[in-house]
Amino acid sequence: MIWLKRTLLLSLALSAPLAAQDFSGMDMPISPVQNVGLTNIGTISVLKAAENRSRGRVSSGLPGFSSHASMRAQAADMPAPPPSAVAKLSFQPDRAVSEKVLQDVSRSFSGGDAAKAQTFQRSLAGDNVIGKFRSLLGKYGYSSDNVADVLTAYLVLSWEVVNNGDAMRYPSGVEALHRRIQAGLAGNPRLLAMTDAQKQSMSETFGYLAMIASATRNELERKGDQMALAKLQDGVNSTTRKLGIDLRTVKMTEQGFVSLQ
């Protein structure tokens, strides 16, 4: 599966109302994600479970990531999860859920300001942000209606923002990360027990966060505003740390994320 080309990411743009907002210093909100329980399931524990199943033992170092040598071994012998479990990672989207997610994300970004929340909501809806996320993933074989696909996209796009990186240099690494995320989620009973509405809520929240962060990064790079870009990177990394992943401590390789430590 070929990953998102840099030219496509650079084409992401915020509308005038959104571009006027200062997202640069914001700790991206994950309260909608917390509401459906992903932080309790634990992103790191999901990745670690997949790694442990592929290796038959507990890894050392940063949980969920490992050395180049062990990553190469994982790529070679990681068992495919049961098709029945993989199928449960997908969901049927519902317009009412999308509207609720849009409201929740807008309120989270507004800091409790009702007028600002309405502005965010109108701008995000007017830009069809979640529709653009759906189209972007679909061009490269991913589905925005699949939790594993969405979480992979969110982590890779966030890694690019935080590290000024280009994951397109490592298409095999993105595929390896996706396999581990898919295996981990497919083996997690709590995730599989989620309703379609819960899976959709979580996935669309990640979609908004990824698109807003990527578009804001592109706008700040265009302006040459390095100070604001640094604030954005801190905010995005703070969000992924709440999920158990410090993106400043990993690099993307052909084997996926590898710890810098």
Please give the residue that has the higher pLDDT: either 188 or 146.
146
User: What residues contact residue 144 under an 8 Å CB cut-off, 6+ apart?
Assistant: 130, 133, 134, 137, 138, 150, 203, 204, 207
For residues 14-23, give the mean pLDDT.
Answer: 49
Task: Looking at 37-94, list the stretches that DSSP marks H as alpha helix, in order from N- to C-terminal side.
Answer: 38-41, 43-55, 68-77, 83-87
Phi then psi for residue 250, to 5 deg, are: -130, 155
Residue 192 has pLDDT above 70, yes or no: yes
Nearest alpha carbon to residue 144 among 155, 157, 134? 134
Where do we find the tokens 């399931």? 41
Instruction: Read off the tokens for 180.
Output: 């581990």
Query: pLDDT by residue (tens digit) across 123-173?
Result: 899 889 999 999 989 987 999 999 999 999 999 999 999 999 898 889 999
> What sign has the CA pseudo-torsion 113, 117, 118, 119?
positive
Q: What is the largest CA-CA distance in the chain?
A: 53
Measured between alpha carbons, how far is 66 from 259 in angstroms, rounded to an integer? Answer: 6
Whether the Cβ atoms of residue 8 and residue 136 lie closer than 8 Å to each other = yes
Residue 66 has pLDDT above 60, yes or no: no
Determine the pLDDT at residue 19: 45
Determine the pLDDT at residue 81: 84
∠149-152-157 over CA atoms, to 5°?
125
Determine the pLDDT at residue 120: 87
Determine the pLDDT at residue 43: 53
Specify which of 91-95, 104-108, 256-260 reaches the highest per-range mean pLDDT.
91-95
Half-sphere exposure of residue 24, counting CA atoms within 13 Å on the CB side? 16
Whether the Cβ atoms of residue 210 and residue 156 lie closer than 8 Å to each other = no
Determine the pLDDT at residue 79: 73
Whether the Cβ atoms of residue 2 and residue 171 lie closer than 8 Å to each other = yes
